[in-house]
Structure 1
Amino acid sequence: MARHLDVLQSHVTELHKTREEANPELSSEVQSLKEKLNEHSKQLEQSTEKLSQLELENLNLCDENQALNTASNKKR
């Protein structure tokens, strides 16, 4: 079974190599798209981190606001 998979993987690799050699323009476009996807993935990761930070900051501000409201209501 493993030998069969190795043979299939080898065929797939050869097909990819042949396709790239047969159409270098397409290969270049695919590479460009991969790079753009990588860049967008990095941006998405950074945005996710920033969102997490902002959500945490928002929770802290809500807690502070609630504490201030509670203190204000006790003074009344």
Structure 2
Amino acid sequence: MAVDEQDELSEATQREAELQRQIDDLQGQVTGLHRTWEETNPELSSEFQILKEKLNEHSKQLEQSAEKLSQLESENLTH
């Protein structure tokens, strides 16, 4: 494999890790906001729960994409 390809894979892996950290941070913020919101607006709690579930779905999809990227990286490194 050419050095350029290894650099690109390394950059992609670093970017993936940074995006995952950002998602984790956002999920923490969302959880904190939810607690505050639930205390002040209990009638909106169910709507928030729906949005939180959608966020979790998207996070799972991102994790699956990250796994696929890792598989592709492994395949590229062995060729």
TM-score of the superposition, structure 1-length normalised?
0.51
Aligned to 1:60: 32
Aligned to 1:43: 15
Tell me the distance in 2 between the aligned counterparts of 1:62 and 1:51: 16
Bigger-Rg structure (1/2): 1
Percent of residue pairs bearing the same amino acid type? 12
Q: Deviations 1:6-37 (Å, cap 9, x if unpaired)?
A: xxxxxxxxxxxxxxxxxxxxx5xx21111000
2:9 equivalent to 1:34: no
Q: Deviations 1:16-74 (Å, cap 9, x if unpaired)?
A: xxxxxxxxxxx5xx21111000001000000000100000000111111000025xxxx
Tell me the distance in 2 between the aligned counterparts of 1:51 and 1:69: 25
More contact order relative to length (CA 8 Å, sep ≥ 6): 2
TM-score of the superposition, structure 2-length normalised?
0.50
Which stretches of structure 1, 4 residues or longer, exceed 3 Å deviation after superposition? none
| Runs of 5+ unmatched residues, structure 2 | 43-79
